[in-house]
Structure 1
Amino acid sequence: MPVNANDPRVKRTRQLLMQAFTELLDQKKNIYSISVIDITTRATVNRATFYAHFEDKFAFLENWMLEKSKMILKKRLPEESLFTFDCLPTLIQTVFEFLKGFRKYIAPGDKQIEPMFEIAMQKEVHQLLLKWLREEAVTSVSQERLEATALVISWGIFGSALQWSRNTQGRTVETMVKEVMGVIAASLVPVLEPRTK
């Protein structure tokens, strides 16, 4: 039977599970080595409770990654209604730093988990960009064009950060932010032209 995500008890239990997992990660464990039993023991709940909330460890990880992505973006960026073109470098830097930090928790056995992180972070970046573009774009730009622009930019930011986090080649986050920002700014000109000049 599915749980009601709005029930305060459900929220509290999920929070305990998420916090337990984060604490285990902070103890220098890698993601792959943390078991459901490790999580439930740390959270002081039983396995049946875990499985009442999540189908399996991968469903839990997907939820944890989505919540972590939201939290990090919310902490580093202004409220969505205050997001502007000038916030883009901060958004890019946040994604790059998040992926760099995430690398320390990955071991060779974690490769199947990496796509979950990609989807969670890219989804949050895409939604933020799409909301901003819908508010700021030239009125003659179609919704389809705005959606495509937000999709391409979000994957561009995320893909660049992912490749860089795998092999920095001695390039700093600051250098990468400038390079990615140059490409993004050029792709936004047709959509925001009157407002960004």
Structure 2
Amino acid sequence: MLTRTEDPRVKRTRQLLMQAFMELLEQKKNVSSISVQDITAYATVNRSTFYAHFEDKFAFLESWMREKFKEKLQDELPNAALSDIGSLRTLILIVYDFLFCTRPYLTLSDRQYEPLFQVAMQKELYDLLLTWLSEQAEPTVSRETVETAALIASWGIFGSAVEWSRHPQSKSAEDMARDVLVVVAAGLAPVLG
């Protein structure tokens, strides 16, 4: 039996709502100017359908950000997984690029959504790093240590990318990624051996 999230109808409806939001975002150029009513009207579904899938606009936006970030990871990271330090560097660059590309859509009135987007992306980073570290960790390393390493690495990567995205002209993404990789790799060394 299919779960609710695996049901093709649920997937199609969610995709329709996400696509409507993306098209509205391209037209209006900022997040706060798009209402649930705008999204449902553009997607040609009623509001009750929206609320059957999402608790509110904030839940929708968190889901949207996670989906967009997952798509970018799948497009640019081989097998959408980490395999070595080289793929960790690629991951760091993906995060930097993603934040750089999304920043123009966040106006001053959209600042209220920034923490929501940050948590959504950091969760995806954490999940990816935890999966990789769980597979690669030395057998003597505890699960708690692996989880802590994934948490620290995800916030370190994400936090540095947020700061850089606010002032990208100060240093190139490649230079930042190189410096962040050195620090993150050093922090992961006790887990990876």
TM-score grouping bracket, smaller chain normalisation: over 0.9
Alpha-carbon separation, structure 1, partners of 2:157 and 2:63: 22
Letter in 2 for 1:188: L
Letter in 2 for 1:182: V
Provide, for residues 21-52 of structure 1, a one-character-per-residue CA deviation record: whole Å limited to 9, x for no partner: 11122225201111112211221112222122
Q: Which runs of 4+ in 1 moved over 4 A?
A: none
Alpha-carbon separation, structure 2, partners of 1:148 and 1:43: 41
Letter in 2 for 1:53: H
- Within 5 A, what are the aligned runs for 1:113-152? 113-152=113-152
Alpha-carbon separation, structure 2, partners of 1:12 and 1:69: 19
Number of equivalences: 191
Gaps of 5+ in 2: none
SS at match of 1:111: helix
Q: Is structure 2 residue 17 aligned with structure 1 residue 14?
A: no
Alpha-carbon separation, structure 1, partners of 2:80 and 2:101: 24
Letter in 1 for 2:115: P
Given that 1:37 and 1:47 are in contact with CA atoms closer than 8 Å, whether structure 2 keeps it comes out as yes
Q: Is structure 2 residue 179 aligned with structure 1 residue 179?
A: yes
Letter in 1 for 2:132: W
Distance 1:100 1:80, change over 3 A: closer
Alpha-carbon separation, structure 1, partners of 2:155 and 2:39: 32
- Within 5 A, what are the aligned runs for 1:45-194? 45-79=45-79, 83-193=83-193
- RMSD, aligned CA: 1.6
User: More helix per residue: 1 or 2?
Assistant: 2
Alpha-carbon separation, structure 2, partners of 1:82 and 1:103: 26
Tell me how far 1:169 sits from its aligned partner.
Answer: 4.8
Residue identity (%) = 58
Given that 2:30 and 2:105 are in contact with CA atoms closer than 8 Å, whether structure 1 keeps it comes out as yes
Gaps of 5+ in 1: none
Letter in 2 for 1:117: F
Alpha-carbon separation, structure 2, partners of 1:8 and 1:165: 37
| Residue in 1 that maps onto 2:24 | 24
Distance 1:180 1:40, change over 3 A: same
Tell me how far 1:175 sits from its aligned partner.
Answer: 0.9
Provide, for residues 148-196 of structure 1, a one-character-per-residue CA deviation record: whole Å limited to 9, x for no partner: 1010000000000011111235211111111101101211222223xxx
